[in-house]
């Protein structure tokens, strides 16, 4: 049996609420998936949990759904941000997709001394997060923030948030995260790693904990998934 369609919509999802469809969603549901009036799909909006909704109008360019019942409450991830230096396009897309699946609350691209890319397509990355949430059964979509300089992010660091600084120079050292349940952020560097100045500043920050991700140097996209896994297992919602 084909799995039931799940869509993220930017619309309130109370019981009995009707939800107008965008042209793209109408095309997908009625053109691609060949659904018709009476079919049931799942909707979430990042706020109201997940609801089952029934097609009440189906057209080529639009349509209407009606929310029937809630199927899941909102399950937001722990208060964990992923800070990462954007790399090549496909690998950056991968990081956003995986961070959504692994349960990050916010995804923050940061420009570091050795960051290869100066620009990101924030809207495209946000669309990847939406798609990943649709696909993994999540009820929450992490916000993809605008690209900021690492230095500026550290200058305006929110009080009380800890930082798990993944430093490739710690390769082979242990991993020690104390039991502080958060809020936290993970920091992953670019392909070129961190500059000595960045490393010195990060190591001296009172809210930062320097960690190793094992005895081998990981690519940045692998490192992001590994760090999220470690954090989720030690302090997050996998426990
Ligand atoms: N070019 C660098 C490696 C960068 S790897 C070098 O050869 O040293 C990209 C990022 O992944 C790093 O900045 C770090 O944040 C993370 N990373 C990769 N392997 C790691 C490890 N074993 N321990 C901690 N962080 C690691």
Give the number of C-alpha atoms closer than 13 A to the C-alpha of residue 201, restricted to the C-beta side.
Answer: 12
Domain ranges of the chain: 6-72, 80-234
CB 167 within 8 A of CB 211: yes
Query: SS3 for 237?
Result: coil
**Closest atom, ligand 1, to C-alpha of 190:** 9
* pLDDT (mean) for 29-38: 97
Q: What percent of the chain has pLDDT over 70?
A: 97
- Burial (CB < 10 A; 0-12, 13-18, 19+), residue 158, is exposed
Pick the CATH number of 80-234 from 1.10.10.10, 2.40.50.100, 3.40.50.720, 3.40.1280.10: 3.40.1280.10
Residue 156's pLDDT is 97
Give the mutation target among 189, 209, 210 for probing the ligand 1 site: most ligand atoms within 8 A of CB. 189
Q: Take residue 1 and report the two structure tokens written for it.
A: 């049996």
Mutate to test the pocket of ligand 1, among 111, 190, 193, 230 (most ligand atoms within 8 A of CB): 193
- Above pLDDT 90, what percent of the chain? 88
CB atoms within 10 A of CB 160: 10
Q: Ligand 1 centre and the CA of 139: distance in Å? A: 31
Where does ligand 1 bind, in terms of residues with CB under 6 Å?
Answer: 166-168, 170-171, 188-189, 191-194, 212-214, 217-218, 220, 223
Q: How far apart are CA 121 and CA 93, in angstroms?
A: 10
Read off the pLDDT of residues 47-99 as tens digits, 9 standing for 90 and up: 999 999 999 999 999 999 999 999 999 999 999 999 999 999 999 999 999 99
The CATH architecture annotation of domain 6-72 reads Beta Barrel (2.40)
């Amino acid at each position: 049996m084909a799995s039931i369609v799940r869509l993220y919509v930017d619309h309130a999802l109370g019981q009995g609420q009707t939800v107008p469809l965008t042209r793209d969603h109408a095309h997908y549901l009625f053109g691609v998936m060949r659904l018709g009036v009476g079919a049931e799909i799942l909707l979430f909006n990042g706020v109201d949990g997940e609801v089952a909704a029934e097609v009440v109008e189906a057209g080529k360019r639009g349509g209407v759904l009606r929310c029937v019942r809630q199927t899941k409450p909102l399950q937001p991830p722990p208060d964990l941000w992923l800070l990462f230096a954007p790399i090549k396009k496909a690998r950056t897309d991968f990081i956003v997709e995986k961070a959504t699946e692994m349960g990050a609350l916010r995804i923050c691209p940061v420009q570091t001394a050795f960051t290869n890319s100066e620009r990101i397509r924030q809207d495209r990355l946000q669309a990847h997060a939406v798609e990943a949430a649709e696909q993994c059964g999540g009820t929450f979509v992490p916000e993809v923030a605008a690209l900021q300089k690492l230095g500026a992010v550290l200058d305006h660091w929110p009080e009380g948030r800890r930082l798990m600084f993944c430093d490739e120079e710690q390769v082979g050292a242990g991993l020690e995260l104390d039991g502080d349940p958060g809020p936290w952020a993970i920091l992953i560097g670019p392909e070129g790693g961190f500059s000595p100045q960045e490393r010195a500043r990060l190591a001296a920050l009172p809210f930062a904990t320097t960690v190793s991700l094992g005895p081998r140097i990981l690519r940045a996209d692998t490192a992001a998934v590994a760090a999220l896994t470690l954090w989720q297992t030690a302090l997050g919602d996998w426990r």
